[in-house]
Structure formats: structure tokens, C-alpha cells
A and B are shown apart, each in its own frame.
Chain A
Amino acid sequence: MTLTPTHRAATLPFRLASQGLAAPTALKPGAAISLAWLFFAIAAPLIAPYDPIAQDLEQTLRHPSLAHWLGTDNFGRDVLTRIVWGARFDLAMGLLGVIVPFILGSAIGLVAGYFGGIVDMLLMRLLDITISFPFFVLVIAIISVLGAGLVSFFIAVALVGWVSYARLIRAQTLVLKHSDFVLAARNLGYGRLRIMARHILPNAVLPAIVFSMSDVVLTILLGSSLSYLGLGVQPPSAEWGVMIAEGQTFLATAWWISFFPGLAIVTLALGFSLLADGLAETLGIRE
């Protein structure tokens, strides 16, 4: 019996519980890593040993040691502390940066798929044009206009990142609008908006949710890359991309300044990648 994606999601807790230890292998480590970083980010003020911004010019460029597990940078700031605090920025960029593209893209995809015709054609043209620009280039072009910073980042990501969601939701909508329950709703005289929002959307949204997990990874990478270039979070904030940029002048003498923040990015990204894989496996969705 083929269940709609929403049915599969609704029964997920029951199925996971009955599978217990046999749950898909990627889901648990993924959740564990992501939640660990979430914890670090939230508990930063409590668990970080030093202040992330205060400089200590007596302790510049120190090797990793017992006092400074990951060493210090050129301003004497403890690298470990800055990494723990930096989790806030990268997690925020990843998680929040996905929300608006998700909503915007889903809305556009739903409308395009449901109405078809000219509306679909125009929206898809817009999509074609947007994806003709390399994602990164368009984002920095928009940021160049808006000025560097976190707010510009979120706006730029929204303007460019809606595309993937629109495509996913549109594809699902095209199929679902011919399904029996939608025909039944239409026969009952339900308005189009109601059908779209309460009947089609809940069933169409699952692949988009799965994709959003991998999109979090892409957005974290995007945000840290922009900050590395100087177009995102600005120094002296302790963001991982900023730290990597600041450490680049000292690669020969104090490689740890640039190395460890990158490792943090890799592990955080790994957490969400595994989560995405596990979720896709559980829900039976292949991208």
C-alpha cells in the first residue's frame, strides 16, 4: 500500500520506536552531532573557558597547550573559546538561512504547480534566470548592493535560495493536484487557497523538508565562506569563517588559528549531512 509522504511522516515516531536500535545508521550519529553543537552554542557563556573577544597581548600565537587546548590567535584570544562561541553564528546562519527560502520557494512552487499555464511559465522563467547565475556570484553581487553583514546575508540567500524548494514543491504539486483527495475537495467546492494550503501542501512538503537538512549544510558553508571573504559576519566577531581568514597570515607560524575553526565547520556540516541522509532513508525519499 502506498502511503503519501505525510502518512509516512505521521507514523514515524511509531516506526522509529518499534525499530529501536535498528533505526537507520545515519540518523543517530547525525542527530547526536547536531544536538551537541546546538548545546555548545547555547551553553557557550557557561562552558567556554575564556572571553571570545577580549585580547591578551601577552598570550599571542601560543601553541595548543593545557591552558589553551587549541592555542591562541594573534590577539591572544583563546581559539577554543572562539570556536564554541562561533557555533552561534554558523548554526544561526544555517538554520535561519534556510527558513525564508523554504517558505518563499514552497509558496512559489505551489502556485506555479497548481495554477499551471501562464503563471507557471512566468515563474519558471524567473527560476531559469535565477539559476543561470552561479549561486555564490549572485549572492555576493546582492550583498555588494546591500552592504556586508548578517542581515544582507539572509536577504541575499532568500532571493537566490528559493529555487530548489520551488522546484521540489512544484514537482510534487503537479502530481498531487490530480490525486483523488484533491478531486474530492474540489467537488466539495473548497476554495483554491484552501485546497493548496490544507490539502496539497502538507503532502508535498516532505521532500522539501528532507532537502532542507542538506540545505542547512550548504548554507553554513555559504555563510562561513562569505565571512571568510569579509562579506558576512565582520571581525572581531568570533565566527568560524572570520577566524580562518584572520589566521591565514599566520599559516607558517600558527596554523591552528585557521585549522580548528574549519574542523568545526566540517563536523557541524557532517552532523546535518548524516541527519539529512538518515531522514531520507527513514522516510523512503531519494533525492
Chain B
Amino acid sequence: MSVALIEAQDLTVDIETRAGRLRPVDHISFALRAGEIMGLVGESGSGKSMTCRALMRLLPSRQARIVAGRVLFEGQDIVSLPETGMRALRGPKMAMIFQNPSSHLDPVMTIGEQITEAVLCHERIGRKAAHERAADLLRQVGFPDPVRQLDAYAHQFSGGMRQRAMIAAALACRPKLLIADEPTTALDVTVQAQILRLLLDLRDRTGLAIILITHDLGVVAQTCESVAVMYAGRIVERAKKADLLRQPLHPYTEALMRSRPESVPVGSLLPSIEGQPPALSQLPQGCRFHPRCPHGIPICRDTDPNLTTAGGNRASACLRWQELYAAQAGGRA
């Protein structure tokens, strides 16, 4: 078994709000190897963004805190690392790109400056070398005229190009892990495909590991190797992509897959999952999904299920996964 690049063990984040103390990230565990692309799937509010911010210790520190668990990056627990230590990791080891590239780029700085400032901050190379690296990065992410475009501003580019610029800035110090928080949600469908291809390409060339946050299983299908599905702050299913798409082991995953436009005949109504995800201040008793679950039985209301191994590198948090799905999968998962 190869060593994990980053491993979360029972990571838990609490947040203080006017409604009291809430837990948006509840005992999250997963592992990612170098060069692996993992999809983190869930609806808005499921905790996927919060989890990744916790990984990079970028939580809004006034209200949110990691209260339990460990995050091992290259074997070292970074939860208790002092902030100066974390800053040394952000950029050179781990980096993040965000959903809205327009608001995440400084409007009054050239994109070149935003790439070089990270380099100059972390490495002892001169301005000229930093500039060359920035131009090279722009070329790698697909800018047609890198040297000139270094001096351009974000507002002079389209959404897709801005996202590429953000990717270039994130990769400036050659990190090993890239967390991509819904990088294509705000972009046109055609541009989406280009950006995803770019990420795959970068992984192939540099061995970059990627955590791809998305609510779109289609994106997962195109790019990821492994998937973790989150609901109300918990991981409810974990599997290799192929296995998951072939046969989900949790009713929530099943419902997500059913509600994709691709899986439904043209002209028929798009099925949606009834109800809403629960507010963190009003979590249901027992299994958090049971109020919306078509397979719910009384025991689901009384028992809060743990994420249990379901054989062959899979895990499910459904109490009934075996009777519901293993039979269909021919007894094996």
C-alpha cells in the first residue's frame, strides 16, 4: 500500500453561530495518494468546502475551529502546526483554486504580479527568474501569448482564462496537492471541459494530487479516480469512481445519480430528491438522511450509522447497504 500524501482522520470542525455551536465537518476521514484525483461530492451546505478549508487551515478563525481529528500531510500532523509552519506549506506544498475566478483575482494587480508574488514569497530566486517561471506557467495553462499577457489585468480576460490564471498562480510554487473548490461551476459548459482537461493534463505531467469539490457527478465521471460523498457534514459513501457509478451503496448517492439529466430519458420529468438537506442546528435523530430516504425503516430513526467498510476499498454509512445493494451487485460490492 503506497503512502498517503494527505490523510484526514476523524477531522471535525465546530463553528459558533447565533444559533449556537454547529458542526459542519463531522469526523471526516479519507486518504489521498500522490497523483490521485479524488472527488468530494455533495449539495451546498454538506461541508465539503469547509472540510477543504480545514485541510489548509484557512477557516474563518474567529468562528470556526478544528476541534478533533488529525490531518497528516506527508506523515506530519498539521492540525497543531503553528501558523508560520502552515504558511510555509501553503503554496509550496498545497494550494487551492476557487469557484469564482473573477472575485478571486486582485483587480488592480496584473496577473503576472499575482503569480510572482507567491514565488518571491516562498523561494529565494530573483525577480527575473520568477518572471520567467510565471510566463512558463501561463504557457502551461494555455495562454497564447504568455510574456505579454503577464502584464494584463484580470478584467481583460474571459471567465475561462481567469480560471486558468488562478490555476497558474496556485501552481506557482509547485505544490503536491491542489484543492479545487468547484472550479468549473461558474463557467460555460464548453469551458468546463477545457479546464477539467487542463487539470488532468497537469496531473499527468507533474504528479499533482487533486481534491475536486463538486456537486456534479458528471464532473466526477470525467476526472476522478476515487470519490467521497458528503451529506450534512459526514461522509456517507467512499469508493473508487468506477465502482460508485456502477453501483452506489448509499441511498443518497443513488438519488444523486438518478437525478442527473444524462440518466433520464428525454422528455420525462427530472427526478429530484424530496425535501431539503437538514440545517446543522436541526439535525434529525439517527441517520441524517432518513427523512428523505425512500428506503428508510424505523431502525434508521433510532441509530446513527457509522461509515463502515463495505469490502474492496469501499465504505458506506447506510445501515441497510447490504440488503439494498449487495444483492443487486451479485453479493459482492
A–B direct contact (CB < 8 Å): no
B→A interface (CB under 8 Å): none
A residues neighboring B (CB under 8 Å) = none
